[in-house]
Amino acid sequence: MIDVDIAGTKVRALNQRLHALPKDTNERAWRVLNPMGAHSIAAGLTQPIEVRVEGHVGYYCAGMNKEATVLVDGHCGWGFGENIMSGLVRVTGNASQAVGASGHGGMVVVDGDAGARCAIGLKGADVMVGGSVGHFSAFMAQAGNLVVLGDAGDNLGDSLYEARLYVRGSVASLGADCVEKKMTPHHLAKLERLLAKAGMNADPKSFRRYGSARKLYNFHADHADAY
C-alpha cells in the first residue's frame, strides 16, 4: 500500500499521480492520510485501483469516478461521488448535499445520513444510504436506484423520470409526479441484490417503492400547476 500524507502534499499532486498511472500498473492500493477536509480528493479516477482515505473530506471527493474503489473513513462534503460512471465509492460517516448527483453507473454508499438533494439527476447509478436523506432527494432522477434505510425528507422524487426509489422509513412528502408503487417479487429480488452488494443488512420486505406517475412526461393543462 502506498501512503500519501495530504499534510505534506497538495491534492492536485496526489490526483495527478493517480491519473498518470498506466493501465498495467501494480500500484493499485493507496492510502490517503490527514485529508483535513480537503476538496476533490481522488476525483476523476479511471483505473481499477483502490484508494482509502483516513479522515474527513470536503467537496466532490471521488467525483467522476470510473472503475476505481474509493473508501472514505470519515464524513464528506457536497457532491460525494458526483457523476460516477462505474466503480464503488463509500463513506463510513455522514455526507452533505448532492451525493451521487448525475451518476451514470457504479455504486455510491453512505453508511450514515445524507443531506438534501441526494441522487439528484441520477442517470443509472445505484445510491445506497444507511441512514436518512434530506429534502428533494432524487429530484429529476432519470434512471438507477436510490435505497434509503432510514427516512426521507420533503419532496422525495420531485419531477422523477424512471429511477426507482426504495425507502424503509417514513417519507415527509412526495414531490411532483412521484407516487408509491407496488413492491413486486421482481423489485424485492432487485433490492435484495443491491443491499447485498452494498453490505447492508435489511429485509427487502420492510421497504416501500416509489416511482414516477408519468403525468408530467407531456404537457397537460390540467397539470399546469405541477410544472
Domain with 212, as residue range(s), is 2-226
Q: How many domains does the chain have?
A: 1
pLDDT digits (tens, 9 = 90+) for 105-160: 999 999 999 999 999 999 999 999 999 999 999 999 999 999 999 999 999 999 99
Residue 226: band (very low, low, confident or very high) from pLDDT cuts 50, 70, 90? low
Three-state DSSP string of the chain:
CEEEECCCCCHHHHHHHHHCCCCCCCCCEEEEECCCCCCCCCCCCCCCCEEEEECCCCCCCCCCCCCCEEEEECCECCCCCCCCCCCEEEECCCECCCCCCCCCCCEEEECCCECCCCCCCCEEEEEEECCCECCCCCCCCCEEEEEECCCECCCECCCCCCCEEEECCCECCECCCEEEECCCHHHHHHHHHHHHHHCCCCCHHHCEEEEECCCCCCCCHHHHHHC
Residue 220: band (very low, low, confident or very high) from pLDDT cuts 50, 70, 90? low
Residue 60 sits in a domain whose CATH number is 2.160.20
Mean pLDDT, the chain, rounded, equals 95
Q: What is the pLDDT of residue 221?
A: 61
Q: What is the pLDDT of residue 26?
A: 94
pTM: 0.95
pLDDT at 89 over 80: yes
pLDDT digits (tens, 9 = 90+) for 180-193: 999 999 999 999 99
Residue 224: band (very low, low, confident or very high) from pLDDT cuts 50, 70, 90? low
pLDDT at 227 over 60: no
